[in-house]
């Protein structure tokens, strides 16, 4: 109770100083969104697809479709971002546990990352005409290996965020119980199977979620950076007290999306995906 009162008193003083910054950041976010909406092609799905334009090659042969609507991300990035989102949501139901995964989970995640690298290199080498070594790349392997890395991203990002944000974070891991990580892997397997089936009832929501997960994951990373820069590590008890670092994180996220999209357009001269 004493710690809580101290933090609340500090943040009451900080909030008064934050108001001009909050207003300025809201205005900047509106400007960034307006600039991105203005410079990108019209059409509501094009806007969603182009969230992925800033972070993914979007090669058609390596992407999923819902009728003629292309996913915002290729198969590998779809697995990665959806896997990260799944892991974050999975951990969110367990409170503010902020300890990093135990060694055996870290080793498993490391092996999944190595598989990701091997499959990515194999896919890249098959761009070379006449290359016959390795194995035939497929969107299924891309989706699986991407999901594996996504699990690692979420397993690290969640405790990193919690440790950085909250004064009352708990020094326990989400994966201390032996079945927690295997259950997550089973859920990820179900996600992969559902996406790869490309059934309309699954693939369309998955495509939407993959686009919005870009904003969520990037904003989360930049919010941690904002907490460091504003010297507010471990000072918050409530989400209201997180307004300033969250706004900074979201602004940096959209600044990256706008800047990267603009540079890619200048380099390629098109808003279309890359072609093989």
Q: What would the pLDDT profile of 82-108 be if each residue is shown by its tens digit?
A: 999 999 999 998 889 999 999 999 999
**pLDDT value of position 14:** 53
In whole numbers, what is the pLDDT of the chain averaged over residues?
91
Q: For 30-48, what is each residue's pLDDT tens digit?
A: 999 999 999 999 999 999 9
In Å, what is the CA distance from 22 to each residue of 79, 102, 215, 229, 236? 34, 38, 19, 16, 17
**Predicted TM-score (pTM) above 0.75:** yes
Domain ranges of the chain: 2-268
Question: Quick one: what percent of the chain has pLDDT higher than 70?
Answer: 94
Helices (H), ranges, 126-238: 139-165, 180-197, 200-229
- CB-based contacts of 47, cutoff 8 Å, min separation 6: 37, 40
pLDDT band at 1 (very low <50, low <70, confident <90, very high): very low
Q: Is the pLDDT of residue 124 over 90?
A: no
Q: Is the pLDDT of residue 9 over 70?
A: no
**pLDDT value of position 6:** 47
**pLDDT value of position 128:** 79
């Amino acid at each position: 109770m004493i710690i809580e009162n101290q933090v609340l008193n500090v943040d009451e003083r900080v909030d008064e100083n934050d108001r001009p910054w909050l207003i300025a950041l809201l205005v900047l976010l509106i400007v960034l969104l307006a600039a991105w909406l203005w410079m990108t092609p019209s059409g509501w799905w094009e806007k969603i697809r182009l969230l992925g334009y800033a972070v993914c090659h979007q090669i058609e042969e390596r992407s999923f479709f819902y009728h003629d609507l292309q996913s915002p991300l290729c198969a590998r990035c779809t697995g990665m971002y959806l896997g990260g989102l799944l892991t974050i949501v999975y951990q969110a139901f367990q409170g503010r546990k902020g300890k990093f995964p135990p060694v055996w989970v870290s080793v498993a995640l490391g092996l999944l990352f190595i598989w990701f690298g091997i499959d990515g290199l194999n896919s890249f080498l098959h761009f070379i005409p006449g290359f016959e070594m390795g194995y035939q790349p497929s969107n299924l392997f891309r989706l699986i290996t991407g999901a594996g890395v996504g699990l690692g991203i979420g397993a690290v990002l969640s405790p990193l965020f919690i440790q950085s944000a909250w004064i009352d974070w708990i020094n326990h891991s989400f994966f201390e119980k032996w079945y927690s990580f295997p259950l997550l892997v089973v859920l990820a397997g179900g996600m992969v199977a559902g996406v790869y089936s490309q059934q309309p009832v699954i693939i369309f929501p998955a495509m939407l979620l993959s686009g919005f997960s870009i904003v969520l994951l990037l904003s989360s990373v930049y919010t941690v950076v904002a907490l460091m820069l504003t010297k507010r590590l471990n000072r918050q008890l409530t989400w209201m007290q997180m307004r300033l670092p969250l706004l900074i994180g979201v602004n940096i996220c959209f600044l990256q999306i706008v800047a990267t999209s603009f540079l890619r357009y200048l380099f390629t001269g098109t808003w279309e995906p890359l072609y093989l």
